[in-house]
Amino acid sequence: MSASMLRAALRGPSSSFFRANSITAARPQPLAARAGLVVPTVLALPSNSFSTTTRMRSEHEEETFEEFSARYEKEFDGVQDSFELQRNLNNAFAYDLVPSPAVLSAALRAARRVDDFPTAVRIFEGIKAKVENKGQYEQYLAELKPLREELGISLKEELFPETAKE
């Protein structure tokens, strides 16, 4: 709304354009409106101008781990760029579970396909952060070792041995 229309709305009806009714004629205009200043006010709008939609509720059922794995394998198979890869990784790791080795292998292949070596290394850091203990991390490493060697992906521990003592 332009400033001139807002000023006109704040002033009320003008006697030259509209017929003044007895209520508006008897009521004095605010000083700011008479001076032509735009003052933020709450305009009295009819109640039907506001949205009255109800809050959306999710009608989806709980997703099983197998459905989650299949969905993210498909997502990583369709990745076209680094942004999409990282977005899918953030979404996959946001759940309260560790993605399956099949999902992680699809993510590693996607990282290789879009030539994103740093993200491939970070996938293993994400696994290390998500697992409950070092034994589980070692199991993931053993499961994904052939793929790591095939794709030429190093671990952070191999790249920076001095920081691996944490």
Q: Where are the domains of the chain?
A: 3-45, 65-163
pLDDT per residue as tens digits for the range 13-46: 555 555 555 555 555 666 555 555 555 554 454 5
Q: What is the pLDDT of residue 114?
A: 95
Q: What is the pLDDT of residue 21?
A: 54
Q: What is the pLDDT of residue 162?
A: 81
Of 77, 83, 138, residue with least CA distance to 116: 83
Q: What is the pLDDT of residue 81?
A: 93
End-to-end CA distance of the chain: 60
Contact 46, 80 (CB under 8 A): no
Q: What is the pLDDT of residue 139?
A: 95
Q: What is the pLDDT of residue 62?
A: 86
Q: What is the pLDDT of residue 145?
A: 95
pTM higher than 0.85:
no
Residues of the chain below pLDDT 70: 1-60, 164-166
Q: What is the pLDDT of residue 164?
A: 59
Which superfamily does CATH assign the domain made up of 65-163 to? Answer: Cytochrome c oxidase, subunit Va/VI (1.25.40.40)
